[in-house]
Structure 1
């Protein structure tokens, strides 16, 4: 009787929820622009109104969010999926920076670190966002760099800062004071009680404006010499990565103790890749490669395909338990097997995304309780290979015999962080950019890096990335993600796209560190399994698992260890579901917001229109026409 009641309550919750949303859905016929700040969404609309395509608009929104320090800046990293209507294919843009010269495990261990640091110049990979933006614009956009950067340059000349960013600066001012160029930019009232800007204060970034102006001037000069649009944009690229901007960036980085060299900048390039994908009930879901956590969502879908989720009921006990277990299984593989595919050893991604491997993983789910001992599986046989890391896994306490269920080392279940600190690190944010147009171009971007408190590189106005912290220093944790010069860390950043019947179906992304693919998985299932609209799905109550290794935060191993059975639930979770989960071994926590801001576009082919969703969990905003 209790099980029936639980399912009924969950169904009732969905029915009640579906009546209204806190934000209205967006509707558009010609174009749609959604991102992390209202002013940045306006920048996208300005480009659309001037005739730009979705790539042009997405680049303008990316530039604007970087300028507004929307938990990222110009020195961070960009990763994108683009649907090209001319080829009818999804392409992936890898604009993740790399570890600089001298960034070795030995270097960081000599300074007492278990992971590269969270903040400061030693946390910085080479900047990727500038290169990624220019690559996308030159290859798939239609406008000049000057046109696309115009909104961001107006913002750099002075914009009214919102309270979220202003208060973040004030909270982090003691750390900001360590770095002279950051102090100069951020602490506009140095020496006063409140040293950060006030909400609504016009925030001016002269150095950044000068950097952007130099890039535009270079483009103009190249065009005057008869260069093509693409050649002119790439001339600006060269000035940033090889010219006087690069020299000042490196000088400012090294002056403050960083490792990045001029050769590191000159040698780095964005990469256009084939995305990874899986098919879930006739829908092709695309993710970036295994240098991101994106394939973990594909793995989870493969596992969940073996269950009748719809019959369980939205956020019923059985549904929550099944999704939690599937995520724990896929994240255990992420934590051990994901890394930069351009470095040896090669990740067993074919095996990891095998449907047969997913069936083997699904068979491990216990129906009556949480399994705190989930660890990485063995995907190698599904590639016809032998796992070279069996001894390493066994030395950590893992048991890969699929007839047993002892999958986690005992030392992995402890964590020294408080729950509040752990959750804050789990939710470390970024932003997202979604754009689509009537001609069929679709863009999904999850950029990040260089968030406050950022170390600004000299007089460039550019905040440096903090993504080095996502490397490991010990191959026992992950032999594929050990820091090395020129290597990309395995990041949490993970834009998503889905096609149905060969046409765009969904474009979606979210901020929130390790929770990104947890929330995107549930958003997708909310629409596909439970029939929610895109806005309902962005606002719907999700769960978060803490049964994973943190990718961000903390320089000690104990700071990042999994918390098996810990689960975040929405405040509205029925008492019967709470009681059931407790009996199954879960430790519960609650919040009225259980995901980062999800932004998404749904393609309504029946009516020839777009539906936009932007959740009520942040400042994210969309405009459509």
Structure 2
């Protein structure tokens, strides 16, 4: 009896530890679900559903609204999409990432003294992808017109009460904003005053952006009036943006401020539909974008972790944290060296990287007594029947694939990291929002859009902030031979939506903001649900941890700004003392924050009851509405 009582008490205690009461409620819906980074933008999704739109239409409306509200992105940024199509019962990926413009070469940036392309300004800009991605989604999978979908965003551009988050970001960045005349005109509504940016609640008007959006809708309406089909009319709006008068003003404004983007760059760029990458984790099929994103990191980590009994370790126990930390480090080491744009040579070894046999080999490297600061890229090539062409390059970096002795940072990068901690963490978490939508017909959409965040350089009189994603390229092939900048190439980005199917049906849809932490946090969210039985809101709010033992993808033009910090572990402030002590004994350098994750937005599909459960993290302004 005593044994039974102890077992029961232990079970209750563990469950209570895993499933804490939440600060926000689960959002329940039967007909549709709309979740994104701003309450007004979620309302745009709800409005679109009420118009009769499907989840794709609603997702596009929320994307348009978040761009207009500068929710760490703008209309000149990039969009990454996973869609479950209930008609084909398949997941597809839409790649609406812009490319490096004409003249954007490694030698060009090196000649300006950079080790990486710049963080901000016209030289940080890839070609805009979000407009093309949005229209592509509507043409192929939506049902409403562009006018209907953009109506909420156009109303916002005409004037909306701006939130403190965006208004304060404008004020903080005003010194940089003043170096770009078109940005200053939009963001600094009170020039010369002590506070030059808008105040929270002030009606923020974007006349130039409204004109741009109106021109796109006008092109659609004119095409319809002339007898064109819905899809032809949508493409007329696309063409006006990428080859017409909007494009000309965008290019003029970008080049006037020192940018490289040409009319040919805009005309040649196209959104792409792709097959996502996928692995099966204990009966659940998990889908991510291809290797021009960091998405496969989560797939690699799941393959590694499948070799361990995570549940028996206990949620966020020292052993659990250590195991996930090591699995993430192994996966990120591969990301940092092997991921890049698959449309450019060389070809990334993704078959090997995602093989279960390779994962078992990588899992065997995990030591359970201490952090391994020497983890480096593995050798996936034998797992796809090939010889690694970069053995010598890896050895030159300080990796020895034969003995297992590896040094994470290239030899020429070793030394004291002088980047202040606050700045480093800011770079780790930089940017992005997320969009989640689903409907009763079975459409599911997960988007991680970004680019053009504040302080943004606006291109001429378009009202459109340019992307800053060029900074995710490298200039040195010893860091990553697959991700060296070149004209027409997509950078390897952090942006990473997720979809999961169980028994062939939608199970989880999720995305999160947070730069290099995205797939760290989405991995833990997924395990919170699948291993520890948390509901979608509990899993979104649960304390996460982050590894900094990786090359930063964003921020800083010098190598010392980006290099890994082996053993550095960010924990939630409430982490128990005994857990801290055990982790310190393993060689971890601990830091603590109340917030240990970007805002996670997610939808869980309850097939038993025929309902959708929405989760929206308590770490930001993210908000959801269901019906």
Give the Cα–Cα distance (whole angstroms) in 2 for the partners of residues 355 and 318 of structure 1. Answer: 23
Give the Cα–Cα distance (whole angstroms) in 1 for the partners of residues 469 and 387 of structure 2. Answer: 32
Give the Cα–Cα distance (whole angstroms) in 1 for the partners of residues 18 and 623 of structure 2. Answer: 21
Kindly indicate whether the alpha-carbon contact (under 8 Å) linking 2:254 and 2:261 is maintained by their aligned counterparts in 1: yes
1:406 aligns with 2:415: no
Aligned residue for 1:464, secondary structure, equals coil
**CA displacement at 1:10 relative to structure 2:** 11
Kindly indicate whether the alpha-carbon contact (under 8 Å) linking 2:18 and 2:534 is maintained by their aligned counterparts in 1: no
Aligned residue for 2:301, secondary structure, equals helix
- 1:463 and 1:10, CA in 2 relative to 1: closer, same or farther beyond 3 A? farther
**CA displacement at 1:572 relative to structure 2:** 1.6
Kindly indicate whether the alpha-carbon contact (under 8 Å) linking 1:82 and 1:90 is maintained by their aligned counterparts in 2: yes
Query: Residues 348-395 of structure 1: CA distance to partner in whole angstroms, max 9, x if unpaired?
Result: 011000100000000000010000000000000001000000000000
**CA displacement at 1:20 relative to structure 2:** 1.4
Aligned residue for 1:577, secondary structure, equals helix
Counterpart in the other structure of 2:479: 477
**CA displacement at 1:399 relative to structure 2:** 1.2
Residues 290-309 of structure 1: matches in 2 within 5 Å?
Answer: 290-309=291-310
Query: Residues 12-45 of structure 1: CA distance to partner in whole angstroms, max 9, x if unpaired?
Result: 4751462410000000000000000000000000
Kindly indicate whether the alpha-carbon contact (under 8 Å) linking 2:399 and 2:405 is maintained by their aligned counterparts in 1: no
Kindly indicate whether the alpha-carbon contact (under 8 Å) linking 1:414 and 1:563 is maintained by their aligned counterparts in 2: no
Give the Cα–Cα distance (whole angstroms) in 2 for the partners of residues 527 and 335 of structure 1. Answer: 28
Give the Cα–Cα distance (whole angstroms) in 2 for the partners of residues 571 and 323 of structure 1. Answer: 19
Residues 94-133 of structure 1: matches in 2 within 5 Å?
Answer: 94-133=95-134
Give the Cα–Cα distance (whole angstroms) in 2 for the partners of residues 404 and 314 of structure 1. Answer: 30
**CA displacement at 1:407 relative to structure 2:** 4.4
**CA displacement at 1:419 relative to structure 2:** 1.6
Give the Cα–Cα distance (whole angstroms) in 2 for the partners of residues 362 and 170 of structure 1. Answer: 47
Aligned residue for 1:22, secondary structure, equals coil
Counterpart in the other structure of 2:520: 518
1:174 aligns with 2:161: no
Give 1:420's match in structure 2, choosing from 413, 419, 422.
422
**CA displacement at 1:420 relative to structure 2:** 1.3
1:325 aligns with 2:326: yes
**CA displacement at 1:406 relative to structure 2:** 3.0
Aligned residue for 2:75, secondary structure, equals coil
Kindly indicate whether the alpha-carbon contact (under 8 Å) linking 1:582 and 1:588 is maintained by their aligned counterparts in 2: yes
Counterpart in the other structure of 1:265: 266
Counterpart in the other structure of 1:459: 461
- 1:72 and 1:501, CA in 2 relative to 1: closer, same or farther beyond 3 A? same
- Number of paired residues? 618
Give the Cα–Cα distance (whole angstroms) in 1 for the partners of residues 116 and 158 of structure 2. Answer: 38
Counterpart in the other structure of 1:552: 554
> Taking structure 1 as the reference length, what is the TM-score of the superposition?
0.98
**CA displacement at 1:462 relative to structure 2:** 0.4
Unaligned ranges ≥5, structure 2: 1-5
- 1:158 and 1:529, CA in 2 relative to 1: closer, same or farther beyond 3 A? same
Runs of 4+, deviation exceeding 3 Å? 8-14, 409-414
Residues 327-406 of structure 1: matches in 2 within 5 Å?
Answer: 327-401=328-402, 403-406=403-406
Give the Cα–Cα distance (whole angstroms) in 2 for the partners of residues 359 and 413 of structure 1. Answer: 33
CA RMSD of aligned residues (A): 1.3
Kindly indicate whether the alpha-carbon contact (under 8 Å) linking 2:606 and 2:613 is maintained by their aligned counterparts in 1: yes
Kindly indicate whether the alpha-carbon contact (under 8 Å) linking 1:9 and 1:574 is maintained by their aligned counterparts in 2: no
Query: Residues 466-518 of structure 1: CA distance to partner in whole angstroms, max 9, x if unpaired?
Result: 00000000101100000000000000000000000000000000000000000
- 1:500 and 1:412, CA in 2 relative to 1: closer, same or farther beyond 3 A? farther
- 1:512 and 1:11, CA in 2 relative to 1: closer, same or farther beyond 3 A? farther
Aligned residue for 2:92, secondary structure, equals strand
Give the Cα–Cα distance (whole angstroms) in 2 for the partners of residues 20 and 585 of structure 1. Answer: 32
Kindly indicate whether the alpha-carbon contact (under 8 Å) linking 2:549 and 2:567 is maintained by their aligned counterparts in 1: yes
**CA displacement at 1:421 relative to structure 2:** 1.2
**CA displacement at 1:203 relative to structure 2:** 0.3
Counterpart in the other structure of 1:213: 214
Kindly indicate whether the alpha-carbon contact (under 8 Å) linking 1:449 and 1:464 is maintained by their aligned counterparts in 2: yes
- 1:413 and 1:134, CA in 2 relative to 1: closer, same or farther beyond 3 A? farther
Kindly indicate whether the alpha-carbon contact (under 8 Å) linking 1:412 and 1:562 is maintained by their aligned counterparts in 2: no
Give the Cα–Cα distance (whole angstroms) in 2 for the partners of residues 19 and 369 of structure 1. Answer: 29
- 1:414 and 1:398, CA in 2 relative to 1: closer, same or farther beyond 3 A? farther
**CA displacement at 1:593 relative to structure 2:** 1.1
Query: Residues 191-236 of structure 1: CA distance to partner in whole angstroms, max 9, x if unpaired?
Result: 0000000000000000000000000000001001111111100110
1:448 aligns with 2:450: yes
Counterpart in the other structure of 2:257: 256
Kindly indicate whether the alpha-carbon contact (under 8 Å) linking 1:415 and 1:560 is maintained by their aligned counterparts in 2: no
Query: Residues 540-586 of structure 1: CA distance to partner in whole angstroms, max 9, x if unpaired?
Result: 01110000000000000011000000000111211111000000000
Kindly indicate whether the alpha-carbon contact (under 8 Å) linking 1:291 and 1:340 is maintained by their aligned counterparts in 2: yes
> Taking structure 2 as the reference length, what is the TM-score of the superposition?
0.97
Give 2:607's match in structure 1, choosing from 605, 608, 612.
605
Residues 546-585 of structure 1: matches in 2 within 5 Å?
Answer: 546-585=548-587
Kindly indicate whether the alpha-carbon contact (under 8 Å) linking 1:543 and 1:569 is maintained by their aligned counterparts in 2: yes
Aligned residue for 1:178, secondary structure, equals coil
Aligned residue for 2:590, secondary structure, equals strand
Aligned residue for 1:474, secondary structure, equals coil
Aligned residue for 1:279, secondary structure, equals strand
Give the Cα–Cα distance (whole angstroms) in 2 for the partners of residues 10 and 377 of structure 1. Answer: 39
Counterpart in the other structure of 1:226: 227
**CA displacement at 1:433 relative to structure 2:** 0.1
Give the Cα–Cα distance (whole angstroms) in 2 for the partners of residues 599 and 66 of structure 1. Answer: 17
Kindly indicate whether the alpha-carbon contact (under 8 Å) linking 1:43 and 1:60 is maintained by their aligned counterparts in 2: yes
Kindly indicate whether the alpha-carbon contact (under 8 Å) linking 1:11 and 1:313 is maintained by their aligned counterparts in 2: no
